[in-house]
Amino acid sequence: MKAEYDIKQIAISTIEEEAKTISQLKNYIDGDFVSIVELILNSSGRVIITGIGKSANIANKIVATLNSTGTSAMFMHAADAIHGDLGMIRPNDVIICISKSGNTPEIKVLVPLIKNMGNSLIALVSGLDSFLAKQADFILKAVVEKEACPNNLAPTNSTTAQLVMGDALAVSLLECRQFTSQDFAKYHPGGALGKKLYLRVEDVLVKENPPKVSMNENIRSVILEISSKRMGATAVVDSEDKLIGIITDGDLRRMLEKNDEINHLTAQQIMTPSPKTTEQETLAINAFHLMENNNITQLAVIESGKYLGMIHLHDILKEGIV
């Protein structure tokens, strides 16, 4: 068994080899790359990405990235394509074929069939003199000198290069389409990522019977309001429900430390004036950061100065966006 030092060095060497490969890819961003981006942008069809073996795995990932960033894409396994899956290709679809060598038997069978259908063919390939590269209309050059594998066999550098070129393509298309975070949210409605992009304060705000007291209410009323509403705080409002302050559990503790007699105190005397607030349309994640940055756990929600309700840090945390 290799010593611990050797294992670490093997891992470091692998990372360095792949980093070197990636850094050289910028030399292959050429006129073909620009033409490929323009071709896809101007196409009324989809992007169909095909490959076999490890290249098929990379194809699936690139398809997922394109779909999530505004470019409709589908995966077609190169082996299955010649057994019926060619039927998924439509006349205006752009085909990207991924292969390290560009000379595998499946690719040699598949490429002429695609060419006969009249679709534009893009090769994402390392072997620039290969069958695939010579048959393609455009080439995405994922050139690698060798694999990180000491036997130069296991796809490592080559699949990393394919993945990075796929990302470069996807991001180029994204920016050319002026694809925004709002667009991104449409395709990611589930999970933490989606909620960060679309969940707003109004989605977690309970407007019915929010915690609030008037300026002149006594300390007993304040304590009962905080306790019964279970928000750890209450708003202090005027006769028109305009927010003028907030009283938290912490304010109550500090009040007890400073006063021996408390029965005469009113809400206005113990409140924190001009508290941090947010609005209904604010993204929930931004409200969370406001609380986090100010070391508070509640935010009063207002509209034109009028108090609507209160959200607690836990209201946002339970949505799973943090």
pLDDT tens, residue order, the chain (322 aa)? 667 769 999 999 999 999 999 999 999 999 999 999 999 999 999 999 999 999 999 999 999 999 988 899 999 999 999 888 999 999 999 999 999 999 999 999 999 999 999 999 999 999 999 999 999 999 999 999 999 999 998 999 999 999 999 999 999 999 999 987 777 766 666 665 666 767 889 988 888 899 999 999 998 899 999 999 888 899 999 999 999 999 998 888 888 888 777 788 889 888 989 899 999 999 988 999 999 999 998 999 999 889 999 999 988 888 877 7
Class of domain 201-317: alpha beta
Q: What is the pLDDT of residue 64?
A: 94
Structure tokens at 112: 């002429």
Q: What is the pLDDT of residue 35?
A: 97
Pick the CATH number of 4-179 from 2.40.30.260, 3.40.50.10490, 3.90.1150.10, 3.40.605.10: 3.40.50.10490
Domains 4-179 and 201-317 share a fold: no
As a whole number of Å, the end-to-end CA separation of the chain is 42
Q: What is the pLDDT of residue 317?
A: 86
Q: What is the pLDDT of residue 252?
A: 87
Q: 3-state secondary structure string, the chain?
A: CCCHHHHHHHHHHHHHHHHHHHHHHHHHCCHHHHHHHHHHHHCCCCEEEEECCHHHHHHHHHHHHHHHCCCCEEEEEHHHHCCCHHHHCCCCCEEEEEECCCCCHHHHHHHHHHHHHCCEEEEEECCCCCHHHHHCCEEEECCCCCCCCCCCCCCCHHHHHHHHHHHHHHHHHHHHCCCCHHHHHHHCCCHHHHHHHHCEHHHHCCCCCCCEEECCCEHHHHHHHHHHHCCCEEEEECCCCEEEEEEEHHHHHHHHHHCCCCCCCEHHHHCEECCCEECCCCEHHHHHHHHHHCCCCEEEEEECCEEEEEEEHHHHHCCCCC
Report pTM: 0.68
Q: Domain segments of the chain: what residues?
A: 4-179, 201-317
Q: What is the pLDDT of residue 250?
A: 87
| 77 is an annotated ligand-binding site residue | yes
Q: What is the pLDDT of residue 193?
A: 63
Q: What is the pLDDT of residue 315?
A: 86
Q: What is the pLDDT of residue 185?
A: 65
